[in-house]
């Protein structure tokens, strides 16, 4: 039996209309299960519903309908336990400018009723590289430092699930590396489940075991990162025939053909299965005269765009 960190069933969120506009269906019945101990990526374009989903998990936004369980605790039945099981680093930099980082962590610990002797504020500040800023005013912190502080705040109550909402949007490479090193270490050493949203595909590729892509409030696909990357193995060879193409063209296994405008033929195949040269040889052997060729290699961005536009 799989041990789930998060179980979401039929989750819907409709935001009331602002200023006479139409209500916004931000989540349209999402089902999603996230195994405990994994690093899970939630990908999607702006406005897809990622933050809405995460804020519902965190108890910051009320769902319209559906079921949410965190570490087995149903949000509606055991709200306190389900909230205690999750820590969220929000997308917005919402820090109180009057607290020092140390104070901010202590206040947060108080909100989660962490007993004094169990608090680890300095240890956490040290981990995110803010130990020397423990007593500085939040308003004197750089943007990168504020993000680190938000991460620290999310960890104060020792949650089993850590959610990072666009943690690296607009941060420099050094901070990004620091963040990922820390997050990986926490995941490996403590079995912390990590859920991150991002619209940087290479980040998801590097960090995540599994990925769900969400668009217009729906999960479009959910798969292991490797399986998603295997899709990227696909390549398209576009051939402009000289004269008429043969009426029937036997294709090697795993190759599919599609007719394009201007008599072009597009062959799609996996690079790991057949090379471009070998494919062209076979097509020639079957009587296809080649006037011109072009190749199209999708990158992650293409696959992402393809998946996110497919249900528009
Ligand atoms: P993402 O994080 O993927 O960019 P969001 O969850 O922030 O997406 O937003 C999903 C949709 O819900 C968007 O169309 C957004 O404009 C809308 N939305 C988000 N928050 C609110 C709100 N508080 N009131 C009304 N609409 C909202
Ligand atoms: Mg967002």
Which pLDDT tens digit goes with each residue over 277-306? 899 999 999 999 999 998 876 555 666 666
pLDDT digits (tens, 9 = 90+) for 126-178: 988 899 999 998 788 988 888 889 999 999 999 999 999 988 777 777 888 88
End-to-end CA separation in angstroms for the chain: 36
Which ligand is the nearest neighbour of the Cα of 213?
1
32 with 116, same domain: the answer is: yes
Pocket test for ligand 1, best of 12, 14, 15 (most atoms within 8 A of CB): 15
**Neighbouring residues of 258: CB distance < 8 A, sequence distance ≥ 6:** 265, 266, 268
**225 vs 304 pLDDT, higher one:** 225
Number of domains the chain is built from: 2
Query: Residue 140 falls within a domain, yes or no?
Result: yes
Q: Distance (Å, rounded) from C-alpha 168 to C-alpha 183? A: 12
In degrees and rounded to multiples of 5, residue 153 shows phi and psi of -60, -40
Q: How confident is the model at residue 312 (pLDDT cuts 50, 70, 90)?
A: very low
Pocket of ligand 1 (CB under 6 A): 15, 18, 24, 26, 44, 46-52
Q: Mark whether 208 and 60 lie in a shared domain.
A: yes
Q: 121 with 177, same domain?
A: yes
The reply to whether 244 and 207 lie within a common domain is no
Domain final position from 197, 229, 261: 229
Please identify, by atom number, the ligand 1 atom nearest to the C-alpha of residue 46.
Answer: 4
Q: Which residues surround ligand 2, an ion (CB under 5 A)?
A: 50-51, 91
Distance between CA atoms of residues 36 and 191, nearest Å:
8
Q: Which domain holds residue 256?
A: 234-297
Indicate whether 27 pLDDT > 70.
yes
pTM confidence score: 0.77
List of residues 6+ apart from 173 with CB closer than 8 A: none
Extract the tokens encoding 9.
């069933």
Residues 273, 180, single domain; the answer is: no
Residues 78 and 21 in one domain: yes
* Chosen domain end from 229, 257, 276: 229
Whether residue 310 is contained in a domain is answered as no
- Same domain for 136 and 54, yes or no, is yes
C-alpha 165 to ligand 2 mean position (Å): 7
């Amino acid at each position: 039996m799989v041990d789930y960190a998060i179980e979401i069933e039929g989750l819907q969120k409709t935001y009331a209309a602002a200023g006479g506009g139409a209500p916004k269906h931000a989540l349209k019945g999402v089902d999603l299960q996230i195994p405990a101990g994994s690093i899970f990526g939630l990908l999607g374009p702006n406005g897809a519903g990622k933050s809405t989903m995460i804020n519902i998990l965190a108890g910051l936004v009320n769902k319209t309908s559906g079921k949410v369980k965190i570490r087995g605790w149903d949000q509606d039945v055991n709200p306190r336990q389900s909230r205690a099981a999750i820590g969220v680093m929000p997308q917005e930099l919402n820090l109180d400018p009057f607290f020092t980082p140390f104070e901010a962590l202590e206040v947060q610990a108080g909100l989660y009723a962490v007993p004094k002797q169990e608090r680890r504020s300095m240890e956490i500040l040290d981990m995110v590289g803010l130990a020397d800023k423990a007593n500085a005013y939040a308003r004197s912190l750089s943007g990168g430092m504020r993000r680190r502080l938000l991460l620290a705040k999310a960890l104060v109550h020792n949650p089993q699930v850590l959610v990072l909402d666009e943690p690296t949007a607009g941060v420099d490479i050094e901070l990004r590396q620091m963040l990922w090193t820390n997050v990986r270490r926490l995941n490996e050493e403590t079995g912390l489940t990590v859920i991150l949203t991002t619209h940087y595909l290479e980040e998801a590729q590097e960090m995540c075991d599994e990925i769900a892509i969400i668009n217009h409030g729906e999960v479009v696909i959910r798969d292991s990162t490797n399986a998603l990357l295997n899709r990227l193995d696909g390549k398209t060879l576009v051939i402009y025939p000289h004269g008429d193409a043969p009426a029937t063209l036997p294709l090697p296994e795993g190759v599919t053909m599609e007719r394009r405008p201007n008599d072009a033929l597009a062959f799609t195949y996996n690079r790991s299965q057949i090379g471009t040269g070998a494919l062209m040889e076979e097509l020639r052997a079957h009587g296809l005269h080649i006037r011109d060729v072009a190749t199209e290699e999708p990158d992650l961005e293409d696959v992402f765009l393809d998946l996110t536009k497919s249900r528009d």
